[in-house]
Each structure stands twice: as C-alpha cells, then as structure tokens.
Structure 1
Amino acid sequence: MKRITLWLLLAVLLAGTAAYALLGGRAREVTTATARIGEAVELVYATGFVEAEHPVSVAARLTAPVRQVMVDEGDRVRRGQPLILLDDEEQRHALQQAGAQRRVAMQDERRVVALFAKGWVTRAARDQAVAAADSARAAEESAAARLDQMAVRSGMDGIVLRRDVEPGDLAVPSRTLMTLGDPARIRITATIDERDVPRIHAGQAGLMSSDAWPGRVLRGHVREVTPGGDPEQRAFRARIVTDAPMTLPLGLTLEVNIVTRRVAQALLVPATAVYDGRVWVVRDGRVHSRAVRTGIVGSSDTQILAGLSRGDAVIAKPDDTLRENGRVRARR
C-alpha cells in the first residue's frame, strides 16, 4: 500500500514538472523599452583644440645673437612694435662707414658738377661722379635697413601665443622665435580618423564641449577639411568655426562631435536592445527574437529600418539566458 502511494506521488510530481516546463517556466522580470519615433543623429567623434585663425610665426631676417626679448607670452602687441632686439654692433659700424662714404661721394659729386659747368671736366667724368654719389646713398640706405632689421617687429595686432627665444640665443632666419595670433579670430582644429574623412564635408554642424565648462555645448560648423593627411597618425584635420563670435582660450582642448547625418522621423530603440542584428520583443508576457535592419547607430539609440513597429516593447538589455517564447514579467 505504501509503495502504491509513493508511485502516485512521484507521478503527480512529474506531471507538475512537465506542466511547468510546458507553460514556459517561472516568469523572469525584464526591463523593456518602447520603440518610438524621434530624431536619429549620426556623429563622428574627434578631439580638437582652439587656435588662432591666422597664426603668425616670427623669425629674424638676419643671423645674429639675441640681445633683448621685449615681450612675453600673453602680452598684447601692436603692428610694428619691436619684439626682439638683436646684437646690432656690426650693423651700426657698417652704417657709419656707409655714411662716411656717402659724404665723400657727395662732395666729389658737387665738385665735379661745378667743374663741368665751367667746362673743365668732361661729361663722362661728371656722370661717373653722379653715379658714385647715387651708389653711396643707396649703400647707406641699405645699411640703415639692415640695422632696422636687427629689431624684430610684430607684423600684426594680437597677442604673443608662444615664445621660444631667450637673450643670448642665436637667431637665424629658419628659426621661429615667437608665434602671434588674434584671440578675436579663432578656429578649432579637429583631428579626424582617416576612416571617417569621407563622411566629413564643409557646412556640417559641430557640437563641442570641454571639461572647463561642464554641461555647456559650443556650436559651430565645418569650414574645410585639409586635403593632406598625416600618414603616421592616419588622420586628417578639419577646421571648425563657431556659429557665433566668442572668445575661447587659445590652446584649449575640446571634444568634438560632427553631425554627418540626421533623420527627423526615425524609429528608435535603445542601442543596448540590439544584439547581433536581433532584438527581443515582449508580447503577452512572452519573448520572441526578431531580426532587424538598423540604420544610424548612436551612443544611446539605434535607428530601426525594418523588423519592428512603433509601440513594440523590446527588452532594453537582453542577455544569453533568454529563450524563445519564454515567460517574462515586463518592467518599463
């Protein structure tokens, strides 16, 4: 009798287990999101920095030791203002010598011209004296110009962005001593990965941010993409200008997102809902795997081109434990 009862209990237990499995097991709780209509934005991420729109490199025209540096980084300068003084002792001596030769030549010119007027010298002698005086005057002007070049002057109104010279350094024409720029005329230079360059063109919107201003978004647009890239970095440079005039610290680094495409009425689901080209749709308390075709993939949302309809509930973060037709309890 006890054995028959035991068999009956075992049969009931097996039947209950089978029914539990048939019904799909215990419902697990999942977080769902609704497929919605919104704007899909495709972005290209880059890093950039603020620089003067027309930076000017300052170099000496002659080779000479640096005697004095008259400005420092951040100083405002005016066009024609002396920035660097070079050792000009040799040029001063040359100017004095040229002046003495000019005075002698002019005296000879006056004497020969007077003698020519009286008929005592030939026209050729007079012309030679006049030419010698003209040459002496030109030599003095040239010596004065070289002396003036010993003062390296600013070619623009702006500020000193960078100073790379100290007294005692040797200035040569090939060496940049300073860099000048106008802080009122700036641009952002962004480094673009060469894989993204085909999607970037002039006129596209740029959204920029910096840790210096948390939560602030600067808006601009691409003005140009440099035709030549850097083969070592495998990158190109995009020049971005702000939509509204603004003053930004030169050298400030920025995170740049360039908007390459917009779709106003796009079907969107969370980016985490799409895995390996499929989503899990929740319907009547059960889940079903569905293949989808995606469009713009953003950091938070993904555009669905086919496979879903507006209002479909999808699992926001599916995992490998989900099974087709499994029971779930949805939580939005």
Structure 2
Amino acid sequence: MRSFRYPVLLLLLVATLASAYWWSSRPPEVAVTQPFRGRAAEVVYATAVVEPVRWAKVTSIIRERIISLCGWEGAEVRQGDQLAELDSGDARATLAELEARRELALSDRERALQLMERRVVSQQVYEKAQNEVIRINATIAAQKERLRDYLITAPMDGAVLRQDGSVGEVAEPGEILFWIGQPLPLQLVAEVNEEDIPKVEKGHKALIRSDAFPDEDLAATVSRITPKGDPILKNYRVYLELPDDTPLRIGMTTEINIVTNERDDVLLLPIAAFDGTMLQVLDDQDRISLIKVKTGIRGTRAIEVLDGIGEQNQVVFPFQADLSEGDRVAPRDGGAR
C-alpha cells in the first residue's frame, strides 16, 4: 500500500509545481484600446465670474455714519438719484460757523472802507479786510462742495444690483455700498495663465461649466483680452460675451474651456495611453512594441494621432511602465472611447 502512495504523492507534487510554473509564467493581462475617429479640440482652462458689461461700484470717500439708505435692490435708478446719505451734522456746523465769520468779515470790510474814505486808515487796511472776505468765501464754497460727499448718488443709469451696509453703521472710505449696473448684456471675466494666453484670440468659443446649471450646454465668445497682464499672478484678463438668454446670474462663478483649435474626423487615443509621444502597441503575437507617434491636438481627454499607427492597432491602455519591448501579454478590451 505504501508503494502505491508514493507515486501518487509524487504526481500531485509534479502537478502542483507545473501549475505554479504555468501561473507564474503566464502573460500578464492588460487592457487595450484601438484608435477611434472623432473631433479633436484643444482648450484653455480658466475660471470666470459673471458680470454686467456696464456697471460701477459706489463707495463713500469719507468716513461717516450712514443715516439713510434707499433700499432699492433690483430697482431701476437714473444717474444722479440719491442712494444714501451720511451724517453731515459736523460739516453743516462748520459751514454755519464760516458763514457767521463771513458776516463779521463783511462788516469789517465796510468799516475799513468808510475809514479809508475819511482818510483815517490806509488803503492797505481796507485791502486786508477785502482779502479776508475773499478767503472766507472760498472756504465756504469748498465746504459746500464737501457737503456733496455726504450724499451718495447713482453714477449711471441702471439697476441697484446689490446694496451693502445698514443705517447706523459707519461707512469707511473705499468701502463698497452699492453695485449699480445694467442687467443686460452680461459677460464672463476670466483669468487666463500667461502660458496659455498666446493661444487665445478674439472670437474663440468657450464652453461653460456651472454648478448651478450642470445639465445645460452653455457657451460664450471671447470679445477682448486685456493687453497688460498681472506680473504677480502671471495671468491675463479675458472678457467673453454671453447671449441675452443665458441663465447665468451676476456674480456666479464658472469654469470655462476656451476652444483654441479643433478638427473633425481625426484619429484619437486616450491621454492615458501615452508616455509623452510613446505608445505600447501589440503585434500579431501579442507582444509589446514601443512606437513613437506624431501627435496633433491635445485635448482634455484624448490626443490626435497624426502618424505612426492606424485604426486597426491595439494599444495598451493605460500605458504600463513595467512592460518592456517584446513582453508577451494577454489583451482584454479596455474600452475608453
């Protein structure tokens, strides 16, 4: 019985070793795809904000307490309409004091004139009194002009897009209290990296992605590019026209892809299949061949292949850095079209 058991154990051992050898030596399985025909588009990515084409920020130029606000958010206003008033009590008290001083100066001038006519005082005394009247009149005119700063008015025709601040708060110089603008037309204002700005031209179409409207196909057109860039942030401001029927609202943020170049019916491969311009292509025996190809438009998902392979080739997807020239593999369909 023992003599029978040993051959059986030997056969099992041989089978196990053979199975282990087959398993360790079998070709690795890799996903493959084939070049496909489609549209190639080269895009420049940027973030953008929706703004009116014509609008203005309204600020205070003095530090003073707010005593009234129009409360007209969304309402139409005309240029010069009063939007807010600041506390001008101290300024008016100063004006009243100046006007009282003017009355005194006028009285002094009149008395000096009478004395000069009677040759009691010299002409220099009269001229000094006259100069004092002129100086006070100039100071009063300047103070009246300052009082205009306490009334905040609309700088243009349009709508009150937004109002900040409350009655009783202190308005700081430069602090925005109102946004006044025309609701239409709207535009996108984007910041484009200086490396990409040479590709962008007036008239280029941009595709818009908005979290507020994720299922809508939104578009805009490049209307102008600011000639001078920001040397600190290293970007350029790009303005894009929006159609009048856009659902986007003022102040919304969006992501845009400006299409700088596109071609139809070209050969494409997914970006992940490339290592630079190198591809791993399978030959008739499912062995790896490293092929350098000529590429064209580089899109966000696919790259145009100009020369080097055809539609019938099987390409490893994604590129496997651990595979070498001549390695045998077991291909499986990776899709990726």
What's the TM-score once normalised by structure 1's chain length? Answer: 0.68
Matches within 5 A, 1:78-157: 78-113=78-113, 116=116, 121-157=121-157
- 1:157, distance to aligned residue in structure 2 (A): 2.8
Aligned to 1:65: 65
- 1:150, distance to aligned residue in structure 2 (A): 1.7
Pair 1:313-2:315 in alignment: no
Distance 2:94 2:332 in 1: 96
Report SS of the residue matched to 2:176: coil
- 1:81, distance to aligned residue in structure 2 (A): 2.4
Distance 2:116 2:201 in 1: 72
Report SS of the residue matched to 2:62: coil
Matches within 5 A, 1:292-303: 292-303=293-304
CA pair 265-75 structure 1, distance change in 2 beyond 3 A:
closer
CA pair 249-113 structure 1, distance change in 2 beyond 3 A:
farther
Identify unmatched segments of 5+ residues in structure 2. Answer: 1-30
CA pair 241-328 structure 1, distance change in 2 beyond 3 A:
closer
Distance 2:209 2:184 in 1: 19
- Identity over aligned residues, as a percent? 25
Paired AA for residue 50 in structure 1: V
- 1:119, distance to aligned residue in structure 2 (A): 5.8
Instruction: Encode CA deviations 1:157-178: one digit per residue, 9 max, x unaligned.
Output: 3334443322222223243334
CA pair 197-35 structure 1, distance change in 2 beyond 3 A:
closer
CA pair 305-51 structure 1, distance change in 2 beyond 3 A:
same
Instruction: Encode CA deviations 1:107-127: one digit per residue, 9 max, x unaligned.
Output: 443454456566665332332
Report SS of the residue matched to 2:93: helix
Number of equivalenced pairs:
295
136-145 vs 266-275, which moves further: 266-275
- 1:89, distance to aligned residue in structure 2 (A): 1.5
Distance 2:96 2:331 in 1: 102
Pair 1:217-2:221 in alignment: no
Matches within 5 A, 1:35-50: 35-36=36-37, 39-50=39-50
Aligned to 1:278: 279
CA contact 1:79–1:157 (8 Å) conserved in 2: yes
Distance 2:68 2:331 in 1: 83
CA contact 1:273–1:315 (8 Å) conserved in 2: no
CA pair 119-297 structure 1, distance change in 2 beyond 3 A:
same
Paired AA for residue 216 in structure 2: G
Distance 2:86 2:331 in 1: 85
Aligned to 2:266: 267
111-120 vs 74-83, which moves further: 111-120
Aligned to 2:229: 227
- 1:303, distance to aligned residue in structure 2 (A): 0.7
Aligned to 1:15: none
Distance 1:149 1:168 in 2: 17
Aligned to 2:22: none
CA contact 1:69–1:84 (8 Å) conserved in 2: yes
Distance 2:174 2:271 in 1: 55
CA contact 1:289–1:324 (8 Å) conserved in 2: no
Paired AA for residue 298 in structure 1: G
Paired AA for residue 106 in structure 2: M
CA contact 2:190–2:237 (8 Å) conserved in 1: yes
CA pair 255-89 structure 1, distance change in 2 beyond 3 A:
same
- 1:304, distance to aligned residue in structure 2 (A): 0.7
Paired AA for residue 295 in structure 1: G
122-131 vs 207-216, which moves further: 207-216
Aligned to 2:10: none
Paired AA for residue 303 in structure 1: E
Distance 2:114 2:69 in 1: 51
CA pair 200-67 structure 1, distance change in 2 beyond 3 A:
farther
What's the TM-score once normalised by structure 2's chain length? Answer: 0.68
CA contact 1:112–1:126 (8 Å) conserved in 2: yes
Distance 2:187 2:332 in 1: 54
Report SS of the residue matched to 1:156: coil
Aligned to 2:8: none
Paired AA for residue 218 in structure 1: A
- What is the root-mean-square deviation of aligned Cα atoms in Å? 4.2
